[in-house]
Amino acid sequence: MSYKKILGFCRTFTKLGLMGRFKITSFSIPFVLLFIKSIQSSHGLSVSCMIDYDNGGAPAVYESQECPRWVLSNGSLQNQNIKNCQFATLQGRREYQEDRVVCNLDMKLPLLKNNSLLDFEEDTVGIVAVFDGHGGKEASEMGSKLLFDYFKVHLVFLSYKLMGIYKGEMPLSDYKANKLGVLRESLLKTIFDIDLKFTQARKRL
């Protein structure tokens, strides 16, 4: 499925809860996003860090020396891949389980604040994803480890870009649509970054 088709598919959603399924080269991901509550927060990004992001996405941010420590310290999210979730897995006839499940219903992520002056607040977001290895666990293993961190990076950087477009002030009538749009685009970019990183890793073998 092409990027344009996936993006067009995502744009059909109109609610704050998102559900869908994407198929890419190495694995497929069903997912759910939910909003629960908000906590005040603020962040800052340098121009150099933004340039690194534009050139290489989330992977480039983690390799950059220009990005602030709060971005680079996201590794703890990898250890929260099962939080406040209940699920069951059933292994088939194969000797090993190649699929991976990640679920965190209590992630604190910075999103645009609901006011006319653009600012950040921390929303509690829930994410559930199932990675199908398709004949091997390597892709699903990598995807499950990178999903939360990459998603947070894209969420923050795309929010900053939106703030630049509105020059620091957003009409309340645009708030809901833009917030949802940032979530959609963040998820898309996260999936493609993971797929690209796995493809590059395979080429090095």
What pLDDT does 64 receive? 86
pTM here is 0.71
> What is the model's pLDDT at position 81?
56
Reading the block at residue 132, the tokens are 């199908």
pLDDT along the chain (205 residues), means of 10: 40 34 44 40 68 91 78 53 69 74 84 65 84 78 89 88 72 74 91 89 75
Neighbours of 137 (CB within 10 A): 16
Interatomic CA distance for residues 25 and 198, integer angstroms: 10
Tokens representing residue 99 in the block = 């699929």
pLDDT at 101: 84
Residue 150: which of 79, 62, 50, 67 has the closest Cα? 62
Question: Which tokens in the block code for residue 47?
Answer: 């121009």
| Number of other residues whose CB lies within 10 A of the CB of residue 54 | 11
Residue-level pLDDT at 189: 94
Tell me which residue of 165, 166, 167, 161 sits closest to 185, measured CA to CA: 161
pLDDT confidence of residue 83: 61
